[in-house]
Chain A
Amino acid sequence: MIKLVWIAISIVGAAGLGAIALSRGETINSLWIVAAALCLYALSYRFYALWIAAKVLVTDSTRATPAERFDNGRDFTPTNKWVTFGHHFAAIAGPGPLVGPTLAAQFGYLPGTLWILIGSVLGGCVQDMVILFFSTRRDGRSLGQMARDELGPLGGAAALAGTLSIMVILISVLGLVVVNALKHSPWGTSTVAATIPIAVFIGLYMRHLRPGRVLEASLIGVALLLLSVASGGWIDHQPQLRALFNFDAMTLVWLVIGYGFIAAVLPVWLLLAPRDYLSTYMKLGTVVALAVAILVMHPEIRMPAVTRFIDGTGPIFAGKLFPFVFITIACGAISGFHSLISSGTTPKLIANERDIPMIGYGGMMLESFVAIMAMVAATVLDPGVFFAINSPAGLVGHGFEAVSKISSWGFSVTLDEMQTLAHEMGEESLFARTGGAPSLAVGMASIFGNAFGREFLSIWYHFAIMFEAVFILTTLDAGTRVGRFMLQDLLGNFAKPLGNTSWYPSVLLTSAAIVASWGYFLYIGVIDPNGGVNLLWPLFGISNQVLAAIALTVATGILIKSGKAKYAWVTGLPLAWLSFITTSASLEKLTSADARIGFYAAADQLAEKLSLGKLPAAKAEIAPQIIFNLHLDAALTIFFVAVLWVVIFEMLRVSFRKTIGLPVPPLSESPHIPSRLVEDWVRD
């Protein structure tokens, strides 16, 4: 009977994938994509994840986990697997899987969808699960510590450097997404601004009014957030109030930078923690609502399977399908950042090793599904509209110029259509809103609008913008804070007081340093002539994939060292693929002669124009900054690739020594202590 069910699932999945891959008609229904995804997840969980757990990792349900051995009722606590799953998913799922697929939709729906599906079940889910397992076996130690213990100090330093730089790039690119979504949008800006006092109020409520009443405080907060979306619409109709919230991109950059600094130095309970509660509920609620709406509406996908832009001339970001689709979609397929969570808070909650596949592999499956839904929301838009929203003005021009250029690519769109749409969404204009958030919001608004009532389109749109902005700002706060801790840790080696995380001068200094680093890239992203997304997103993708490759390298090294070389391909194959794509993408970013792809080519082109006096005064003034930045980006790319190969060679060296019988750093696995919880463990 069970077998028949699995056969049925395989057939449906194969039919779905077949329909996606072979459909060459006008449109395809999004239900095929959703069905194929769900079946593929079910099959790979049952036949791959559980196989890895049983044969490769050999999870042992009689072994006491760190949560049991170090139980302190707080961070180490044996926890019900569904609760752990909830915490783990809330921690790994950020705005990344919403943005990446939207940008990659310029290649058509097919390449991105296939990479999300295959990349996750063979790469991302495996990474999250094996790192979670190895960390659980090592008292919940972090990736950096495991790299140091298993591969030596070089591996540890590389993991730390990689993490710090990915954080900076990540925050700057997310800041750019917010800036592009809010520029000249008084409705959006006032709503997002209102979330700050709301979060502070909730913070005070949870601390002083009713200490620790998390649920009721969150409910009040969510109600206030929804109210702020509606009142933003009212503000939008008051000419005087409206002007107060109507900012250009550069002003928003300074506001975001100022906000980031203040949020990083304020106590967590006042802003960061309450904002995080609110964004978590918004995130879960919206994801569920989107899934229901897609299932109910099952809209037709209007984007072609593959567009002409696979040749590298895409307006959203430049570069050929290979390798750039794999760089653009990191979160949702495989995200190195997850390895920090899988070796951070989650392993301290695992009650029993047998829960690991469900939490590690399953959590990532759910994130991958979020990415699939983002892809659906982006591709149900009319392609002409999609490109009009996402193409930077520097490339396609403004208004009429933009629509004629986009129509000339074969994606017809009219000025009228764009104005009606902007009006429906309660915005002045939707042209050149790069960064993915606005087009995703339009897609979500149209899906929600069809499912729950079209008269509220502008409310749905701004709800979606608020939802994305709120949890981007949470990532921004939390990331700045983590960056600050890492920097303090690092500086503490040179000057003791700087390492003290509660010494205020050090807090101010290190927070300012981190904010200045991402603020710099954010600023450059806004002034870059080819659009900041084209500049920063590939850099983010490369850094995130490099971190994933480092995690997989550590895992492969551990497998080989524990005498399981015959299974090393489980992490070795995704590692080989990731190092191949990150290295080739980096080489293209460094050597391409196309100024939209190659950093050096762009710098040379700009320098030449500058020396010939071909640039208008305003552009000539910022040109030296942009040229400097392009060289900096190139240096950063070289650094990422160098870090990656250092770690890989370190792992290969250790593995080679192990194979020929030379001494290697010993496995740092903690000894087997039988669990006392096993048989009569009452799941709470």
Chain B
Amino acid sequence: MKKLWKLIRRLSGDDAYERYLAHLKSFHPDREPLDRKAFFREEMDRKWTGVRRCC
């Protein structure tokens, strides 16, 4: 059940911020993380700059 919930959160991108924090912590511990709002602002722009949807 817990696993399923995790999968759903991962699939929908609900956990993107937590994954970002974890990534920073393990790879770039020196960098100051963005706050939640700023992170999602950047995330949206990044996501929609290429071909994302098809016919």
Contact among B16, B37, B54 with A92 in the assembled complex (CB-CB below 8 Å): B54
A482–B50 contact, CB under 8 A?
yes
B12–A74 contact, CB under 8 A?
no
B14–A273 contact, CB under 8 A?
no
> Is A170 located at the chain interface by the 8 A CB criterion?
yes
A331–B55 contact, CB under 8 A?
yes
> Is A631 located at the chain interface by the 8 A CB criterion?
no
B 18-55 to A, binary, CB cutoff 8 A, 1 in contact else 0: 01101110010000000011011101111111111111
Chain A residues with Cβ under 8 A from B48's Cβ?
Answer: 268, 272-273, 478, 481
Contact among B8, B27, B36, B45 with A73 in the assembled complex (CB-CB below 8 Å): B27
> Is A253 located at the chain interface by the 8 A CB criterion?
no
Chain A residues with Cβ under 8 A from B46's Cβ?
Answer: 74-75
B12–A215 contact, CB under 8 A?
yes
With known contacts A71-B27, A82-B7, A345–B52 Cβ distance under 8 A: yes
Q: Which residue of A lies closest to B24 (CB)?
A: A73
A589 to chain B, nearest CB (A): 20
A 56-95 to B, binary, CB cutoff 8 A, 1 in contact else 0: 0000000000000001111101001011001100011111
> Is A630 located at the chain interface by the 8 A CB criterion?
no
Q: Per DSSP, are chain A's interface residues mostly helix, strand or loop, or mixed?
A: helix
> Is A411 located at the chain interface by the 8 A CB criterion?
no
B50–A213 contact, CB under 8 A?
no
B19–A501 contact, CB under 8 A?
no
> Is A479 located at the chain interface by the 8 A CB criterion?
yes
Chain A: number of interface residues, binned into ranges = 35 or more
> Is A225 located at the chain interface by the 8 A CB criterion?
no
Contact among B11, B40, B47, B55 with A86 in the assembled complex (CB-CB below 8 Å): B11
> Is A344 located at the chain interface by the 8 A CB criterion?
yes
A460 to B50, CA, bound (A): 34
- Chain A positions near chain B (C-beta within 8 angstroms): 71-75, 77, 80, 82-83, 86-87, 91-96, 170, 174, 206-208, 211-215, 218, 268-269, 272-273, 276-277, 331, 335, 337-338, 340-341, 344-345, 474-475, 478-479, 481-482, 485, 501, 544, 684
Contact among A214, A268, A335, A340 with B14 in the assembled complex (CB-CB below 8 Å): A214
Chain B residues with Cβ under 8 A from A481's Cβ?
Answer: 48
User: Would you list 20 pairs from A and B whose C-beta atoms are within 8 A, ordered by A residue?
Assistant: A74-B20, A83-B11, A91-B53, A94-B54, A207-B37, A212-B17, A215-B12, A215-B14, A218-B12, A268-B45, A268-B48, A269-B44, A273-B47, A341-B54, A345-B51, A474-B53, A475-B54, A478-B52, A478-B53, A501-B49
Chain B: number of interface residues, binned into ranges = 35 or more
Contact among B27, B41, B55 with A269 in the assembled complex (CB-CB below 8 Å): B41
Chain B residues with Cβ under 8 A from A482's Cβ?
Answer: 50-52
B11–A475 contact, CB under 8 A?
no
With known contacts A73-B24, A273-B47, A212–B52 Cβ distance under 8 A: no
B53–A96 contact, CB under 8 A?
no
B11–A73 contact, CB under 8 A?
no
Q: Which residue of A lies closest to B49 (CB)?
A: A485
Chain B residues with Cβ under 8 A from A170's Cβ?
Answer: 55
B54–A93 contact, CB under 8 A?
yes
Chain A residues with Cβ under 8 A from B10's Cβ?
Answer: 80, 83, 684
A212 to B13, CA, bound (A): 8
B40–A73 contact, CB under 8 A?
no
Q: 20 additional contacts, CB 8 Å, given A96-B54, A684-B6?
A: A73-B20, A73-B24, A74-B43, A80-B10, A83-B11, A207-B41, A208-B37, A212-B40, A214-B12, A215-B9, A273-B47, A276-B53, A331-B54, A341-B51, A344-B50, A344-B51, A475-B53, A478-B52, A478-B53, A485-B50
Chain A residues with Cβ under 8 A from B27's Cβ?
Answer: 71, 73
Which among B9, B20, B40, B52 has the highest number of chain A CB atoms within 10 Å?
Answer: B52
A493 to chain B, nearest CB (A): 18
With known contacts A268-B44, A268-B45, A174–B55 Cβ distance under 8 A: yes
A86 to B40, CA, bound (A): 21
Chain B residues with Cβ under 8 A from A684's Cβ?
Answer: 6, 10
A119 to chain B, nearest CB (A): 16
B28 to chain A, nearest CB (A): 9
